C-alpha cells in the first residue's frame, strides 16, 4: 500500500507541474466569472441557465483533464524507459496500475474541489444561498464518474498504440455513453433481430455514466439525491472501475515493455 501511495504522489506532482494545472486555474476563473455575471440580470431563469452552463463547463473540463492525464501515464513510462528501474525496485505491474489510477483520481478530485469551491462561493455570494450539500453530492458523484473514466483510459493506454488515439477514442466513447447510453433500450424495441438483442446486451453491459450526472437537480434546486441512491451509485462506479483496472492489469502484464 505504501508503494501505491508513493506512486500516486509522484503522479500528482507531475500533473500539477504540467500546463494542465495552469489551464485549471484559467478555466476556474472563467467559470466563476460567468457565474458572477448572473447578478447583472434580474430574471432568475437566466441565472439558472448560467449556472447550468457553468456546471457543464466543469464536467467537460474535468473530463478532458482526466482523459489527458490518464492516457499518457503508462505510455510515458515506457517511452522514457523509466518503467524498467521502476519495476526493478521491485514494484509489481499491478502496483504501477493502482498507483497511476489513484494518482490521477486524487489529482482530479483536487481539481473538482477547486472548481466547486469557487463556483459555490460566487454563486452563494450573488444569490444569497449556500447549497452546500447539493454541491457536495454533485462533486462526489462526478468524482466517482471520473474514477470510471480514468480506469477506462488506463485500460485503453495498454490496448491502443498511441496516447492521442486512446484519448480520442475514450472521449468519444464516454460522451456517447454519457449522452446516448440511456436511450439504447428504447431504440432496441424498434429494431429487428439480431440488432435488437445486440442493443439490449450493449445497454446492460456499458457503464451508465449518466447516472452520476445530477446537474439538473443542482441547477433547479430540486433537493438532495437520496443518500442510499448515492451509495448504490458509488458501488456501481467502484465495480466498473475495478473491472477496468483488472483488465488493465491483465493486458499490461502480458505486454512487452520494450515495444
Set of cell numbers at residue 46: 437566466
Q: What is the pLDDT of residue 259?
A: 54
Give a yes or no: residue 259 inside a domain: no
Which residues, 6 or more positions from 241, have their beta carbon under 8 angstroms from its beta carbon? 101, 147, 148, 150, 151
Instruction: From residue 245, give the alpha-carbon distance in Å to each of 62, 89, 100, 205, 229.
Output: 20, 22, 10, 16, 24
Q: What is the pLDDT of residue 44?
A: 54
Q: What is the pLDDT of residue 68?
A: 86
Q: What is the DSSP letter of 92?
A: -
Q: Report the sign of the C-alpha dihedral through residues 150, 156, 158, 160, in that order.
A: negative
Set of cell numbers at residue 64: 478532458
pTM over 0.85: yes
DSSP 56-76: HHHHHHHHHHHHHHHHTHHHH
- For the chain, state the CA radius of gyration: 20
Give a yes or no: residue 122 inside a domain: yes
Q: What is the domain count for the chain? A: 1
Set of cell numbers at residue 221: 434546486
Which residues, 6 or more positions from 1, have their beta carbon under 8 angstroms from its beta carbon? none
Q: What is the pLDDT of residue 194?
A: 80
Alpha helices in 128-226 (DSSP H): 132-157, 163-180, 184-189, 195-205, 215-219
Instruction: From residue 147, give the alpha-carbon distance in Å to each of 100, 191, 240, 242, 254.
Output: 12, 33, 9, 9, 24
Whole domain around residue 226: which residue ranges? 2-254
The tens-digit pLDDT sequence of the chain (259 residues) is: 677 887 788 777 777 777 666 676 677 677 666 655 655 445 555 567 777 777 888 888 889 888 988 888 888 777 777 777 777 777 788 888 888 899 889 988 888 888 888 777 777 666 666 677 888 899 999 999 999 999 999 998 888 878 888 888 889 989 888 888 788 777 777 777 787 788 788 888 888 898 898 888 887 777 788 889 999 999 999 999 999 999 999 888 887 766 5
Q: What is the pLDDT of residue 96?
A: 86
Q: What is the pLDDT of residue 92?
A: 82
Which residues, 6 or more positions from 72, have their beta carbon under 8 angstroms from its beta carbon? 157, 163
**185 in Cβ contact with 203 (< 8 Å):** yes
What is d(CA 104, CA 90) in angstroms, rounded to the nearest whole number? 22
Give a yes or no: residue 180 inside a domain: yes
Amino acid at each position: 500500500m505504501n508503494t501505491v501511495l508513493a506512486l500516486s504522489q509522484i503522479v500528482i506532482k507531475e500533473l500539477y507541474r504540467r500546463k494542465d494545472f495552469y489551464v485549471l486555474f484559467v478555466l476556474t476563473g472563467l467559470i466563476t466569472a460567468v457565474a458572477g455575471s448572473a447578478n447583472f440580470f434580474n430574471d432568475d431563469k437566466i441565472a439558472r441557465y448560467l449556472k447550468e452552463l457553468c456546471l457543464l463547463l466543469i464536467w467537460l473540463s474535468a473530463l478532458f483533464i482526466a482523459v489527458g492525464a490518464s492516457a499518457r501515464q503508462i505510455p510515458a513510462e515506457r517511452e522514457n524507459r523509466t518503467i524498467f528501474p521502476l519495476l526493478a525496485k521491485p514494484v509489481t505491474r499491478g502496483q504501477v496500475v493502482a498507483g497511476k489510477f489513484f494518482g490521477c483520481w486524487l489529482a482530479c478530485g483536487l481539481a473538482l474541489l477547486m472548481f466547486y469551491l469557487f463556483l459555490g462561493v460566487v454563486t452563494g455570494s450573488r444569490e444569497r444561498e449556500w447549497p452546500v450539500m447539493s454541491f457536495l453530492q454533485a462533486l462526489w458523484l462526478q468524482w466517482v464518474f471520473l474514477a470510471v473514466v480514468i480506469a477506462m483510459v488506463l485500460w485503453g493506454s495498454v490496448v491502443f498504440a498511441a496516447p492521442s488515439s486512446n484519448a480520442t477514442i475514450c472521449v468519444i466513447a464516454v460522451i456517447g455513453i454519457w449522452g446516448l447510453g440511456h436511450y439504447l433500450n428504447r431504440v432496441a424495441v424498434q429494431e429487428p433481430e439480431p440488432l435488437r438483442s445486440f442493443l439490449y446486451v450493449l445497454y446492460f453491459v456499458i457503464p451508465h455514466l449518466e447516472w452520476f450526472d445530477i446537474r439538473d437537480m443542482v441547477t433547479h434546486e430540486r433537493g438532495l439525491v437520496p443518500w442510499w441512491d448515492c451509495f448504490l451509485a458509488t458501488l456501481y462506479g467502484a465495480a466498473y472501475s475495478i473491472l477496468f483496472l483488472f483488465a488493465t492489469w491483465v493486458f499490461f502484464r502480458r505486454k512487452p515493455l520494450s515495444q
